[in-house]
Structure 1
């Protein structure tokens, strides 16, 4: 029995002697590896988040610049909003068109927008302050301490057609000289107002960058 104990004693002492350094060594490896693994995980998360954000942004931009094919086919007959504005404001610069287009960015699809282009003959007769007063009336009538034109005095956003034409009727009662009698009656009424304050266009946005628009020739008729 003593021989056995003597045989195992060196092994036991060797084990006791080597286990602490081995444990210390592996502990050191773990301590060194954990910060590296943690740092690597953080980098992977950050990199993955950036790639996901890029993918989402790219998809959003693609949808804006390239609408889905079904939408493109549905609104293919309509002009772009930019083209519509260039027709309405035929004398406007590119910077002015861009400004008007940005104003329309906040307009919801199918909300009616009244656009008034000035009649220089009317302005020559009545003066620019009188013209601005009419535009301010269209911008503020029916509202409290706010405007529906973003101070453009040309583009007026309404919630629906009923509101648009109700405001038109209000202005016709308030400022009748902004409206004119139809050409067929002008010979019989030479002293009546023969020229409107401007030309009225009705525009509605459809799709992402498309608009339906037209000239409402009867908008400024006095009757």
Structure 2
């Protein structure tokens, strides 16, 4: 079941929604309280319905391609299409976008630059030689 993340100040309107902290603790179940607090601060100024992409790293992908490659791809999500700006506040897991279009253009650009960060659909893997079977992370 999907849950909407809402800031604490808006919880009264959305009483069945998780708080930002609760959602982050669910998404990043292995993260320390310090990391959760950092992510919570990063999300504090985001308004409802602003496009945000959160990627939970896939350790299988990192083991296969290496941590430096993972960092390169995540840094590309953070800076692709921007000039001297960064959309992740150096978290490498939470990315804020100005518009949904920017999010999709960035995703498509990253897929072209780093196709190994994306997997071949399971229904097509049998028909592809050397299919990519791991995603860089769960979004």
Asked whether the two chains share a fold, i.e. TM above 0.5, the reply is: yes
The count of aligned residue pairs is: 133
Instruction: Confirm whether residue 192 of structure 1 aligns to residue 131 of structure 2.
Output: yes
Distance of 2:87 and 2:57 partners within structure 1: 18
Distance of 2:66 and 2:32 partners within structure 1: 24
Distance of 1:93 and 1:123 partners within structure 2: 20
Instruction: Confirm whether residue 158 of structure 1 aligns to residue 97 of structure 2.
Output: yes
Instruction: Confirm whether residue 143 of structure 1 aligns to residue 82 of structure 2.
Output: yes
Q: Which one has the largest radius of gyration?
A: 1
Instruction: Confirm whether residue 181 of structure 1 aligns to residue 120 of structure 2.
Output: yes
1:88 counterpart residue number: 27
Once superposed, which parts of structure 1, at least 4 consecutive aligned residues long, lie more than 6 Å away? none
Coordinate RMSD, CA, aligned:
1.7
1:105 counterpart residue number: 44
TM-score by length of 1: 0.56
Q: Which runs of 5+ in 1 are unaligned?
A: 1-63, 201-223
Greater helix share, structure number: 1
Q: Which runs of 5+ in 2 are unaligned?
A: 1-6
SS, match of residue 62 in structure 2: helix
TM-score by length of 2: 0.89
- 1:189 is displaced (CA, Å) by 2.1
- 1:187 is displaced (CA, Å) by 2.1
- 1:192 is displaced (CA, Å) by 1.7
SS, match of residue 42 in structure 2: helix
